[in-house]
Structure 1
Amino acid sequence: MPRPRFLPDNFTLGLLASVALASLLPCQGQTAVWLEHLTQLAIAVLFFLHGAKLSRQAVVAGMTHWRLHLCVLAATFVLFPLLGLVLQPLLQTLTTPALALGVLYLCLLPSTVQSSIAFVSVAGGNVPAAICSATASNLAGIALTPLLVGWLLVRGEGGMHAGSASGIVYQLLLPFIAGQVLRPWLGGWVARHKPLLRAVDQGAILLVVYTAFSAAVINGLWHSLPLPALGGLLLTCTLLLALLLLTTTLLGRQLGFNREDRITLLFCGSKKSLASGVPMAKVLFAGQPMGAIVLPLMLFHQLQLMVCAVLAQRLAAAGKQG
């Protein structure tokens, strides 16, 4: 039986349940220590499997359309951070310092892969280019996001500490490289077991969200987070998404891209990856108030899915009429 259009999917319900469980029954003491180790292991396995899944041939084949890929990367790692910085005065007024930090962090993340490609496909865009652009964004994000966090946030209260670099290497980069090296032997198995990868992917995120919000609740997150700040966060995330959708649309027209490439730029250049962002935050902001840092990303993630789902359907209908 098909799911009603506006009913949240199971993963969204899982995220909400994780936040609710952490709010009512936060993990503490030895349980929190064991869950912390389990979370670190899950993140390493997640990046290992992504390394084993990624096809280098797909990246090489798509690199011929370099103008489109550069535009997607520029929107993801230049335009987004600039807007995040420009919106900081508004954020400081409407939200809390931790939420403002979280918004700037989400602006430094790579684009999504699965949802970007899915929306491009539904809307009638250039799917091979979308695969290459989204993949390149995620590959670049493994290096660029930590560098941008260290550069832009190092002076702030949530900046990277000395152990973050080693955490990135051991928890993210080395497992990913190991997966790439073992891809000739494991790639086929991973491709045949996509539900396993999805389970590890979503399970790692749910673990991080639960442990992060548990620590935040124990430290008084909901007591120190006023309702107007949440409203300000929603307004800011909506404005950020609207600006990116508008800018990527205008940029595609200015550069003379055809309809299919404009659709690819629109969807790949306006997304931020929850799957990459939450595990990375666990490493980059170890010891920091993680709950408030990942909350903007979770909210933006839901906004981009709902808005782009409607937009993709409208573009598909317009393409059939044209």
Structure 2
Amino acid sequence: MTKLRDTLRRVGLNTFFLLLIGMIFLAKIFPEWGTADSPLPLKAITGAGISIIFFFYGVKLSPQKLWEGLANWKLHIVVQATTFLIFPLVVLLFYAFFGEEGSYLWLGTFYLAALPSTVSSSVVMVSIAGGNLPAAIFNASISSMVGIFITPIWMDIMLPETSVSFDLTDTFIKLSFQVLFPVIIGLLLHHRLIGFVNKYQTALKNFDQGIILLIVFTAFAESFAEDMFAGQSTWALIGLSVLMLVFFGFMLVLMYFISVGFRFSREDTITVMFCGSKKSLVQGAVMGRVMFPDPVVFGVILLPLMIYHALQLMAGSALAQRLGENKK
């Protein structure tokens, strides 16, 4: 049990997770502080913070390691295909049988399916489980950059069927200035600033988490202010949590059998399972802030991702720990 707690703490399911939950409660109690009428310029702060986050994310990327990682191309194609193709198609299949037309929760579920993989927890879990660590680092990094383009395209396909307005060109422009360009600039400055990043990585991590907390607070505050959750019962949220857990388990099993079909090694199979099943709360929050300009709607759309984020950390950590022990 101690090992599991240590694993959960390493992948981020600790104080930050509790603060995320706390932000929802604060937004419920003080919704006016997160709205456009707030005396604090929270939107301007989060906008600047997002660019800073991705600038330093670019600094962390090693051009040499990215280039070396191209060799295992078959593994990379499978991971990226599961992340950006199979995931959304599975949700669309579920939606065809169980979906509720016009539901923002279903739209949020599709949004999380279209998101890139998370970097930190994917790499940590692959390492614990005894997988192919260099391939995990490569795929998690590439996924984050590819997602800047693929996720908006998926949402452009999906959103015309809903009442949510969406402009693909405008989204690409905003994401380019706020996310892509900072990543590229950071990547170009990797050799100059990587020492600074390594020295202050704890402070930078706290900054990242602080910006995400602000995004979550403002999104939910707007939604609470407009009573967007009025029609959602406790049982509906429990049902959504169960659905997210089943979804996560289903994708893990599916990716395992895909890896078996490609005759991947144990190490590569673990990499496919963990890199392909994770979804990034960080990118989901920052990209969603651009793609869903109506903050009232965004709070509801973000809810499935937050639930999935928590479940993927808990269930994924337990599985990684078991696989690591079996290897020994």
TM-score by structure 2 length? 0.91
Provide the alpha-carbon RMSD of the alignment. Answer: 2.0
Whether 1:13 and 2:18 are equivalent positions in the alignment is yes
Q: Relative to structure 2, which stretch is displaced further, 143-152 or 208-217?
A: 143-152
Deviation at 1:239, TM superposition (A): 2.0
Cα offset for 1:29?
Answer: 4.9
Q: Deviations over 1:237-290 (max 9, x none)?
A: 122111110011111111111111111111111110111111110011111511
Identity value in percent = 37
Cα distance in 2 between the residues matched to 1:128 and 1:4 = 24
Matched residue, 1:152: 158
Distance in 2, matches of 1:242 and 1:29, equals 39
Q: What secondary structure sits across from 1:223 in the alignment?
A: coil
Shift of 1:177: 2.1
Kindly indicate whether the alpha-carbon contact (under 8 Å) linking 2:108 and 2:300 is maintained by their aligned counterparts in 1.
yes
CA distance in 1, matches of 2:282, 2:229: 24
Report the Cα distance in structure 1 between the residues aligned to 2:223 and 2:280, rounded to whole angstroms. Answer: 22
Cα pair 1:76 1:110 within 8 Å, conserved: yes
CA distance in 1: counterparts of 2:87 and 2:93, whole angstroms: 10
Q: Which amino acid aligns with 1:10?
A: T
Residue 319 of structure 1 is matched in structure 2 by 327
Determine the structure 2 residue equivalent to 1:78.
85
Amino acid at match of 1:292: V
- Map 1:228-243 → 2, pairs under 5 A: 228-243=235-250
Count of residue pairs brought into register by the alignment: 318
Corresponding position of 1:46: 53
Select between 145-154 and 275-284 the one with higher mean Cα deviation: 145-154
Greater shift in the superposed pair: 5-14 or 57-66: 5-14
Aligned to 2:301: 293
Post-superposition shift, 1:12? 0.3
Check the 8 A contact 2:16/2:209 in 1, yes or no: yes
Q: Which runs of 5+ in 2 are unaligned?
A: none
Deviation at 1:3, TM superposition (A): 9.1
TM-superposed deviation, 1:193: 1.5
Task: Name 1:109's counterpart in structure 2.
Answer: 115
Structure-2 residue corresponding to 1:245: 252
Identify which range, 224-233 or 55-64, moves more after superposition: 224-233
Q: 1:170 aligns with which of 177, 182, 185?
A: 177
Q: 1:4 to 1:251 in 2, by over 3 A?
A: closer
Output the amino acid matched with 1:179.
G
Residue 149 of structure 2: aligned partner: 143
Larger CA deviation: 210-219 vs 169-178:
169-178
Greater mean deviation of Cα atoms: 167-176 or 177-186:
177-186
Q: 2:212 touches 2:282 (CA, 8 Å); kept in 1? A: yes
Matches within 5 A, 1:200-215: 200-215=207-222
Which of the numbers 277, 283, 300 marks the counterpart of 1:276? Answer: 283
Cα distance in 1 for partners of 2:21, 2:198 equals 29
Contact (CA 8 Å) 2:46, 2:211: kept in 1 or not? yes
Shift of 1:317: 1.6
What secondary structure, in the 3-state scheme, does the structure 2 residue paired with 1:272 have? coil
Instruction: Give the structure-1-normalised TM-score.
Output: 0.93
Distance 1:217 1:141 in 2: 29
Q: 1:90 to 1:99 in 2, by over 3 A?
A: farther
Equivalent AA in structure 1 for residue 127 of structure 2: S
Please state whether the residue corresponding to 1:221 is helix, strand or coil: coil
Query: Alpha-carbon deviation of 1:57?
Result: 1.3
Contact 1:106–1:297 under 8 Å retained in 2: yes
2:198 matched to 1:191? yes
Q: Does the CA contact (< 8 Å) of 2:102 and 2:163 recur in 1?
A: no
Matches of 2:203 and 2:241, distance apart in 1: 33
Quick one: structure 1 residues 206 and 32, their matched pair in 2 at CA, closer, same or farther if it must change by over 3 Å?
farther
**Alpha-carbon deviation of 1:179?**
1.7
Q: Is 1:308 the equivalent of 2:313? A: no
Task: Pick which of 194-203 and 182-191 moved more.
Answer: 182-191
Q: Alignment partner of 1:158: what SS?
A: coil
State whether residues 150 and 159 of structure 1, in contact with CA within 8 Å, keep that contact through their aligned partners in structure 2.
no
- 1:157: Cα distance to partner? 2.3
256, 264, 283: which one aligns with 1:257: 264
* Alignment match, 1:128: 134
